[in-house]
Amino acid sequence: MKQTIERILGELCPGVDLESETLIDEGLIDSFDLVSLVGELMDEFDVELTVEDLLPENFNSVDAIVELIARKR
């Protein structure tokens, strides 16, 4: 799952530091990228993500995204 998320993230935000722990806090992913990312994640992992899930702590790192998807499955 982690590799897939890294691939999606890399495609959406070329050059983004996949090791970063502050993807949202430092603005490496903006609101536009975030919505595109959520759309891709929902398609790829067949989960439903809502506005309530759009918290920085859920998207600040690849590991956090993995945890979010695991919770939602």
CA 65/CA 42 separation, integer angstroms: 12
Site string for other proteins, 9-48 (x = CB under 8 A): --xx-x---------------xxx--xx-xxx-xx-----
Nearer to other proteins (CB atom), residue 21 or residue 30? 30
What's the closest the beta carbon of residue 7 comes to other proteins, in angstroms?
A: 13
**Does 66 interact with other proteins (rule: CB under 8 A)?**
no
CA 53/CA 14 separation, integer angstroms: 24
CA 60/CA 27 separation, integer angstroms: 10
CA 30/CA 71 separation, integer angstroms: 23
